């Protein structure tokens, strides 16, 4: 037997996912669809937050959602009550969504191009971090009922997010949520991270979320046009996390 020799191949393990995600991102951009993915641990209120998002957005925009879960179609049924098109992706034993699952879920999904597509990932703060889904905005949710140190326990996913949303803010006092500690921990893993606080139940913070969506989608979809409906540059500035303009075209 000959002695082993080295063959250099330099192949990214996730190359198929990354290629599919790049293609999806290009197609979304061409269609004028702003794609937002939501990641969080189970029970942080992703579905409730999405319900509170889809309803009002639907009044003026074409919106739809894909919802990932290990089992059951309960979340899709809940979200469909908003009137938006919703499709469940049941992943079975797989703990995250990947770009191919998004591609398959989109086949024959909506006849018309969308303004906004939301992708709710499987509740998990570890596995989804590695998979690009072709989204324009990756949002990580942290509820006030979780530990303020979650960002330090799962730094990769908080570091890779474009925005952090603190949910269930109506419960903050009841659970003695340490706001300063939560912000410090979020910023420890990503100093320029934009942070919003919301309550899907009371509506607190939802206006800021809708303004941010409008500003970010205007930047992403119509970068150079002077759209009279788009928020002013000053508003965009105030809502956009500083320091990461170079990453706005995707990770």
Which of 39, 62, 46, 220 has the alpha carbon at shortest distance from 133? 39
Contact between 202 and other proteins (CB under 8 A)? no
Task: Give the residue with the Cβ less far from other proteins, 66 or 157.
Answer: 157
**Is 168:143 a contact under the CB 8 Å cutoff?**
yes
Task: Give the residue with the Cβ less far from other proteins, 85 or 190.
Answer: 190
Tokens of 138: 């990756």
For 30, the 3-state DSSP assignment is helix
Question: Backbone dihedral region of 83: left (phi > 0), alpha (psi from -120 to 50 degrees) or beta?
Answer: left
Q: Candidates 14-22, 40-48, 137-145, 199-207 — which segment interacts with other proteins by CB under 8 A?
A: 14-22
Binding mask 152-181 for other proteins (x = CB under 8 A): x--xxx-xx---------------------
Contact between 6 and other proteins (CB under 8 A)? yes
What's the rounded Cα separation, in Å, for the pair 48 and 234? 31
Q: Which of residues 34-93 bind other proteins (CB under 8 A)?
A: none
| Shortest reach from residue 214's CB to other proteins, in Å | 28
The strand pairing partners of 38, in sequence order, are 120, 139
Task: Give, for 65, the enclosing helix (H) or strand (E).
Answer: strand 63-69
Interface positions with other proteins (CB under 8 A): 1-16, 94-96, 98, 126-127, 129-131, 152, 155-157, 159-160, 188-192, 243, 246
């Amino acid at each position: 037997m000959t002695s082993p020799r080295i063959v250099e191949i330099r192949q990214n393990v996730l190359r198929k996912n990354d290629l599919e995600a790049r293609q999806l991102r290009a197609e979304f951009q061409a269609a004028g669809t702003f794609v937002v993915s939501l990641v969080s641990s189970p029970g942080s209120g992703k579905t409730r937050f999405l319900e509170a998002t889809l309803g009002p957005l639907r009044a003026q925009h074409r919106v739809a959602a894909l919802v990932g879960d290990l089992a059951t179609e309960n979340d899709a049924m809940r979200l469909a009550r908003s009137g938006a098109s919703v499709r469940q992706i049941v992943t079975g034993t797989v703990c995250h969504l990947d770009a191919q699952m998004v591609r398959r879920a989109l086949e024959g999904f909506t006849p018309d191009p969308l303004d906004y597509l939301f992708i709710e990932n499987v509740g998990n703060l570890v596995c989804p971090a590695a998979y690009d889904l072709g989204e324009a905005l990756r949002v990580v949710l942290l509820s006030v009922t979780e530990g303020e140190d979650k960002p330090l326990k799962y730094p990769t996913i908080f570091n890779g997010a474009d925005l952090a949303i603190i949910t269930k803010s109506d419960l903050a006092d009841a659970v003695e949520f340490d706001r300063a500690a939560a912000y410090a921990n979020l910023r420890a893993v990503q100093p320029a991270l934009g942070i919003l606080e919301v309550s899907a139940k009371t509506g607190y913070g939802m206006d800021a979320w809708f303004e941010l969506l409008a500003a970010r989608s205007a930047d992403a979809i119509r970068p150079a046009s002077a759209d009279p409906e788009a928020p002013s540059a000053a508003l965009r500035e105030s809502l956009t996390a500083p320091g990461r303009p170079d990453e706005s075209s995707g990770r």
